[in-house]
Structure 1
Amino acid sequence: MAVHRLLNIATIIDIQYYFLCFLLYFLSALLLKSFFKTKTPLNLPPSPPALPIIGHLYLLDPSLFQSFHNLSNKYGPLLYLRLGASRCLSISTASMATEIFKTNDLVFANRPSFAFVDKLPYKNYGLFVAPYGDCWRFFKKLCKNELLSAHQVEKSRDIRREEMIRFLHKVLESGKKKQVLDMSSELMKLTNNSTCRVVMSIRCSDDNDEAEKIRQLVKETTEVSAKVSFGDVLGPLRFLVFWFYGKQAVDVILTYDEILERVLKQHEENPNVENEDFVDILLKVYRDDKAEFKINRTHLKAFLLVLFLGGTSSSAEAMQWTIAELINHPDVFNKVREEIKVVVGSSRLVEDSDIPSLPYLQAVVKEVLRLHPPWPIVIRECRQDCKIKDFDILEKTMMAINVYTIMRDANVWNCPNDFCPERFLVSLEKEDVMKYIPFGAGRRVCPGSKLALSLVHTTIAAMVQCFDWKVGGEEDHAKVNMQVGPGITQPMAQPLICLPVVHFNPFTS
């Protein structure tokens, strides 16, 4: 049974790799024995039954967040897991998330490194994976003060508007021709172009096969990240992961590197002094010898890559899940449309400035993010020995904060698995703030969440205002398949294929 469950993980990690890992665990047993020994007895959190050497790996399924969710439901909200040679603490309640994100936020400000991160072109320089320190603090400050400054946000509003209108024209054209659209691809194109234009002043996905290439590249990035993230389970033999997945990981990054290097050279050769984008700002910092932190070209590209991926995949997935939930709940869909009609009227397209006056739309998006958070498991790493709820936590222990489970906790949410936007029409109590953390929390909370939500809100509002949707072009009331695909995020298992039926064309007068 244990071997069967382990082989199921092959959808994330190649079967040959895991089979070899299984053998290597036994070969390295003596080394690992000393790895977990301590001089004094430790008061560790409770732990499920473990197997020799592989520990709790046999309990994991292809959908990692679902595995952790099932474990917490069966064994409790605070669990000590041994994944091969790695220590992991599973956190699944809001009160314990508060211990990580608030009480001990500095202690858990690191993220675990990949097994062979030093061999990758960008190492661990990106804002998402960089260890807590001067480099991470510098880029976080730069992101807050420059990319998310009032000037850049205002500039991005016009860009997002232009890209949304371009998206709507494409959907209108398909609606008039009665052609189905792969909304997964179209929404990915929208978010990718919006991000690229704000950051780099270029459109990366036009009306050709480029959008599909970008989508596949983002998907491959997620898949290879899932594979290499398991490297540390090999302990002293973790370097072997590079033999299997090193080339694939390097090739993916080098594909991005070609795009980013071309963008940097274009900006260096033709600087836009009057209308700077974020790349122009980064290049000024790069050339500044008196900068607070001296960055190199690799820092630049690693930072841009994080913005590229973060601004493309998570926003696109959030919009897919939102429109899918609205299609499956026509009563909610009609409430959103009626709210837009009351606030906006019937003669113009909804605008970004209308969103604060659309509380029910905002509640819908919040509910979608509760049920389908962009990162259902937030990973941190302990920087030093500490205590959580009187339990001993050792340095380098990985913390898996199961956001998915926290936001479906029946002890704090009524009917937690139901889609009920009305719950967010009442403000969250201050003491319960950690029960809703779709973007994480603390020092390493997603810095671009507000900017991303602006695009999500306006795009969803326009999709509801302008179109009715038929799943796969079939008869009315067909339901979207809400099955989740394998991986470390929450991708849809199947592409969202819809026929748009024009309800309101804002471009005719």
Structure 2
Amino acid sequence: MADLKAYFPFFFTCLISIILVRAFFKSICAKSHRLPTPFSLPIIGHLHLLSSIPHQTFHKLSYRYGPIFQLFLGSKPGIVVCSPEMAKEFLKTHEHVYLDRARSSTADYITYGSKDLVVAPYEPHWKFMKKIVMSNLLNGKTLDMLSSVRHQEIYGFIKSISQRARVGEAMNLGKELMKLSNNVISRMLMGIKFANDKEDVADDLINLVTEMFQASAFFNLSDYIWLFKNLDLQGLGKKAKKLRARFDVMIERIIKEHEEARKRGGEMNDLLHILLDIQQDESMEIKLSRENIKAFILDLFLAATDTSASTMEWGLSQLINHPNIMKKVLEEIHQVVVENRLLHESDIPNLPYLQAVVKETLRLHPAVPVLARQSTEDFMVAGYHIPEKTQIFINVWALGRDPNHWESPHEFRPERFLEKENELDVRGQHFHMLPFGSGRRMCPGISLAQFMVHTTLGAMIQCFDWKAGIDGNLPSVDMEEGFGLTLTRANHLVCVPVARLHPIPFSL
């Protein structure tokens, strides 16, 4: 026993040494898996670094901290991704861990507790809703059935512009394109045209959609700073309740009118009619609730109206600033579309330069500049440890400007998409251009958006020359970006239309 006691100091020294060595190597290993992180402040983390236009701030920070870095938004960790290679890691290679959307309390309330398709978590309910949308609501057959609605609305839009052109009156194209998108969606969805002869009704709907967008996009301190968790300091919770109540009254009335018309045996060809059929189908594996229907209607208004309108506004802005490109598009349209006929959706496959213009617009001005996801478990990505419930911000705006993938990335040059090496689509397979996202949570309304943007923009070019400014005297259009969930212009595009063709003789 005495001999063993003599060895105790040796054993104790060895044990302490092993513990210290293991701790040292564990620390070194942890540091090697730690993401680059800017200096943060107590409580607010990196909130002081963010501007009103986050995608631009993320892009600037990537110059210093690399294509992937960590930020703390208050007490919540976030990962910013600014390169196509890293985007692919999150959206394809390890997609199963990042299928949940990052959610805010405001958006959660507005969407009836995330009972929609856009922000709902990746669970059986979401899969069921996605299946309904892809199989019944936004599939090729349904879109074809409703193509006449889109054509009639675009025709009416062009006709109204013609009336402005006759008297040389300037028009706010941002507002008018929103009204067009609202009319198309409301007619496809509910068989109702809000704008009819009541400007105040149309304006009320547009203002409501805009306010709901802004409320969802606004940074809610209560979601990120634990001190304010139970406080509504910015009044966003109160505002969300008012906005949803207004929307609920409007939609509830429309649903009841549909239900009454169905009882009378009235013929109805719209998406709400299809949704009510599905709700009454006892064979469905999951029951579609009334709130699910309302949330989906809200999804279409929020996701389809502002995004399509802003893309068309950006596209025309670029063409006004590049008259040589405008001339090429016009020449192509005149070669394909016969005289006295308005451009139609069926013409789009025969207009490759117009398609290239739209792609270039989406590259530089993606409707959703940042894709926000949230991790569902601890995971290693590209050698970095990403904890569970970390928000992932994929900077789509930066991907479209990556100099490693795009020659002269800040230049508006549609010809790049006519080159064989750049034969790419926008359906999420090319990670240097993701205007509609990628993978299972990619936007399901791509086809509808493509129809609307190509046809409307093409018709506007076909029928009118556009003079910038309220007097039509501005030499160019400013390209300043505004704040919001979608990439809108800071100042709406105001132009005076000058008629090239008169739309009255055009056939529907």
- TM-score normalised according to structure 2 size: 0.88
Task: Report how far residue 477 of structure 1 moved.
Answer: 6.1
Q: Return the match for 2:112 from 109, 113, 122.
A: 122
SS in 2 for 1:501: strand
Q: Return the match for 1:254 from 232, 235, 245.
A: 245
Q: Return the match for 2:432 from 425, 430, 435.
A: 435
Is 2:278 aligned against 1:285? yes
SS in 1 for 2:373: strand
Is 2:406 aligned against 1:413? yes
Could you tell me which residue of structure 2 aligns to residue 460 of structure 1? 457
> Relative to 1, partners in 2 of residues 1:318 and 1:243: Cα closer, same or farther, differing over 3 Å?
closer
CA separation in 2, counterparts of 1:222 and 1:117? 9
Could you tell me which residue of structure 2 aligns to residue 368 of structure 1? 361
Could you tell me which residue of structure 2 aligns to residue 144 of structure 1? 134
Is 2:174 aligned against 1:184? yes
> Relative to 1, partners in 2 of residues 1:214 and 1:69: Cα closer, same or farther, differing over 3 Å?
farther
Could you tell me which residue of structure 1 aligns to residue 20 of structure 2? none
Native 8 Å contact 1:60 1:67 kept in 2? yes
Task: Report how far residue 115 of structure 1 moved.
Answer: 3.3
Could you tell me which residue of structure 2 aligns to residue 335 of structure 1? 328
Q: Return the match for 1:484 from 478, 481, 490.
A: 481
Is 2:442 aligned against 1:445? yes
Native 8 Å contact 1:115 1:238 kept in 2? no
Could you tell me which residue of structure 2 aligns to residue 18 of structure 1? none
- CA deviation vs aligned residue, 1:202-251 (integer Å, no higher than 9, x gap): 11233413333233222211221123555321236423237732110111
- CA deviation vs aligned residue, 1:22-80 (integer Å, no higher than 9, x gap): xxxxxxxxxxxxxxxx9x95722111121222211110001111111111123211011
Could you tell me which residue of structure 2 aligns to residue 26 of structure 1? none
In the comparison of the two structures, how many residue pairs are matched? 471
Is 2:58 aligned against 1:68? yes
Could you tell me which residue of structure 2 aligns to residue 320 of structure 1? 313
Over aligned residue pairs, what C-alpha RMSD do you find?
2.1
> Relative to 1, partners in 2 of residues 1:116 and 1:195: Cα closer, same or farther, differing over 3 Å?
closer
CA separation in 1, counterparts of 2:247 and 2:429? 40
Larger Rg: 2
SS in 2 for 1:399: strand
Q: Aligned AA for 1:261?
A: E
Could you tell me which residue of structure 1 aligns to residue 501 of structure 2? 504
CA separation in 1, counterparts of 2:305 and 2:423? 32
Could you tell me which residue of structure 2 aligns to residue 57 of structure 1? 47
Native 8 Å contact 2:82 2:399 kept in 1? yes
Q: Aligned AA for 1:446?
A: C
Q: Return the match for 1:235 from 216, 221, 226.
A: 226
Q: Aligned AA for 2:204?
A: K
List alignment gaps of at least 5 residues for structure 1.
Answer: 1-37
Q: Return the match for 2:193 from 200, 203, 217.
A: 203
SS in 2 for 1:433: coil
Q: Return the match for 1:263 from 248, 254, 266.
A: 254
Native 8 Å contact 1:80 1:90 kept in 2? yes
Q: Aligned AA for 2:409?
A: P
CA separation in 2, counterparts of 1:415 and 1:120? 41
Native 8 Å contact 2:400 2:406 kept in 1? yes
Native 8 Å contact 2:99 2:373 kept in 1? yes
> Relative to 1, partners in 2 of residues 1:119 and 1:462: Cα closer, same or farther, differing over 3 Å?
closer
Native 8 Å contact 1:94 1:432 kept in 2? no
- TM-score normalised according to structure 1 size: 0.88
SS in 2 for 1:205: coil
Task: Report how far residue 472 of structure 1 moved.
Answer: 2.0
Task: Report how far residue 338 of structure 1 moved.
Answer: 0.2
Quick check: 98-107 or 117-126, which moved more?
Answer: 117-126
Could you tell me which residue of structure 1 aligns to residue 292 of structure 2? 299
CA separation in 2, counterparts of 1:111 and 1:336? 38
SS in 2 for 1:209: helix
List alignment gaps of at least 5 residues for structure 2.
Answer: 1-26
- CA deviation vs aligned residue, 1:264-287 (integer Å, no higher than 9, x gap): 101100026644321111112222
Q: 1:67-86, aligned counterparts within 5 Å?
A: 67-86=57-76
SS in 1 for 2:218: helix
Task: Report how far residue 411 of structure 1 moved.
Answer: 1.2
Native 8 Å contact 2:369 2:395 kept in 1? yes
- CA deviation vs aligned residue, 1:425-476 (integer Å, no higher than 9, x gap): 1253679811111111111111001111101101111101100011124355
> Relative to 1, partners in 2 of residues 1:444 and 1:261: Cα closer, same or farther, differing over 3 Å?
same
Could you tell me which residue of structure 2 aligns to residue 220 of structure 1? 211
Native 8 Å contact 1:48 1:81 kept in 2? yes
CA separation in 1, counterparts of 2:125 and 2:214? 27
> Relative to 1, partners in 2 of residues 1:398 and 1:194: Cα closer, same or farther, differing over 3 Å?
same
Q: Return the match for 1:134 from 102, 107, 124.
A: 124
> Relative to 1, partners in 2 of residues 1:129 and 1:229: Cα closer, same or farther, differing over 3 Å?
farther
Quick check: 428-437 or 166-175, which moved more?
Answer: 428-437
> Relative to 1, partners in 2 of residues 1:83 and 1:333: Cα closer, same or farther, differing over 3 Å?
same
Task: Report how far residue 383 of structure 1 moved.
Answer: 0.8
CA separation in 1, counterparts of 2:257 and 2:384? 54
- CA deviation vs aligned residue, 1:285-320 (integer Å, no higher than 9, x gap): 222333121122111101110011112110010111
CA separation in 1, counterparts of 2:149 and 2:253? 22
Could you tell me which residue of structure 1 aligns to residue 352 of structure 2? 359
Native 8 Å contact 1:44 1:393 kept in 2? no
SS in 2 for 1:240: coil
Quick check: 139-148 or 397-406, which moved more?
Answer: 139-148
CA separation in 2, counterparts of 1:65 and 1:221? 21
SS in 1 for 2:312: helix
